[in-house]
Amino acid sequence: MKVLVLNVGSSSVKFEVIETSLEAIENNTEQKLGRGLIDKIGMTSATVKFTRPGAEPFVDTPPIWDHAAAIKQVIKLLTHPEHGILKDASEIEAVGHRVVHGGEYFSKSVIIDDDVAAKIKDCFELAPLHNPHNLKGFQVMHNLMPDIPHVAVFDTSFHQTMPRHAFLYALPYSVYQKHKVRRYGFHGTSHRYMIFSLERKFVKKPRAEFKAITVHLGNGCSIAAVDGGKSQDTSMGFTPLEGLIMGTRCGDIDPAVVLYLMGKEEISMHEMNTMMNKFSGLQGLSGSSNDVRELTEQMQQGNERAELALRAFAYRTRKYVGAYHAALGGAHYIAFAGGIGENSVIVREMVLENLEPLGIHLDKERNRSVPPGGGEITKDGSPVRAFVIPTDEELVIARDTVRCIAKTQK
């Protein structure tokens, strides 16, 4: 089955075509046929990039004024006689849609029908920057391809296994009952992929038999405590703002700081929200960049603010590793993924060095020479083993799409 994976953002559409089946999932033999990104939708500088195995990337700058035009461009790219990978759009047999927020409605991926679409819309308040665009992507694609199944794969669903004492905030209980204010967690597809990879590739042990701390470090960052393949706790909360320091997000702060600054700076709620989400984190601390590669280079050139930002970033992650080690009653494995987790040697070292009392024995040479497919970064015999695992969220979405369809047919 050829599955089109669609990730629709506010000004971008990421897409990938993956050929898979239940048998291919079991044997880890899926084929990735091509992937692309349409960026800066609605701007005069909109760009299109499409890559397929063994070919040079195709880049174009056509006018793309809205999401409907962008999704039509996806189909055009996939069926292009020279650069495409499909003879006809009818070769697409299903579409998997990334949806950020499923609220308490969805603990697993589902085929989208009118009821599911209505519930995704009900979650607009919980994810106003994401869910409207995710739903718009489904609506446009469904109009183009109404006769094939469309599946919603939610960032939040993996964390619906958290116990109540982990997901509730210590606010009046009526706030949760009336407004569903609670910890939801995000990056679920990435955390799931790390668990799958630990089970199938790196430790080759059933997930029911181990406890793991999964660490997704990118421009957005989150960490999860996973027992038996089920999320027990995670750092992101009601929104993706809580938890670790991120590229431009502040992560954990005293909530009274928000009220204090709004009074002192005479700024609105919207302006405060923008400050915490767009101008904080690594960008705010360093004053120069939210890119760990740039900050690492600046630190090596003696930039103290860049070093401060990186050390604060690693320190916050390190604290969560220790906390989740305790929450799990002792983790067996730690996994790093995401652009920073997979590529920053110095951040991984800052997070894990000198944690021998917790049973984590970092091997600095292994950490510096991780192969492209990932690998272990702890010493032989380390009681807690740590790995770098290149994540693949699109593959998780394609797999869930196939499983949902197979279950319905059965």
Amino acid of residue 267: I
Burial-class residue 304 by CB neighbours within 10 Å (0-12, 13-18, 19+): exposed
Using alpha carbons, list the distances in angstroms from residue 45 to 40, 42, 133: 7, 8, 20
Candidates 165, 157, 168, 150; CA nearest to 191 is 157
Using alpha carbons, list the distances in angstroms from residue 291 to 216, 303, 305, 409: 15, 14, 13, 46
Topology classification of domain 204-388: Nucleotidyltransferase; domain 5 (3.30.420)
Give the separation between CA 159 and CA 169, rounded to whole angstroms: 15
- Domain range list for the chain: 2-154, 204-388
Q: State the catalytic residues.
A: 155
Whether 2-154 shares its CATH topology with 204-388 is answered yes
pLDDT at residue 44, rounded to an integer: 83
- List phi, psi (to 5°) of 107: -105, 5
Per-residue pLDDT of the chain (410 residues; tens, 9 = 90+): 999 999 999 889 999 999 999 999 999 999 999 999 999 999 888 999 999 998 999 999 988 999 999 999 999 999 999 989 999 999 999 999 999 999 999 999 999 999 999 999 999 998 888 999 999 999 999 999 999 999 999 999 999 999 999 999 999 999 999 999 999 999 999 999 999 999 999 999 999 999 999 999 999 999 999 999 999 999 999 999 999 999 999 999 999 999 999 999 999 999 999 999 999 999 999 999 999 999 999 999 999 999 999 999 999 999 999 999 999 999 999 999 999 999 999 999 999 999 999 999 999 999 999 999 999 999 999 999 999 999 999 999 999 999 999 998 87
CATH number 1.25.40.20 given to 2-154: no
Using alpha carbons, list the distances in angstroms from residue 261 to 143, 165, 253, 275, 335: 46, 31, 12, 11, 37
Give the separation between CA 159 and CA 108, rounded to whole angstroms: 10
Q: Enumerate the β-bridge partners of residue 8.
A: 13
Give the separation between CA 214 and CA 25, rounded to whole angstroms: 22
Pair 143, 117: CB distance under 8 Å = no
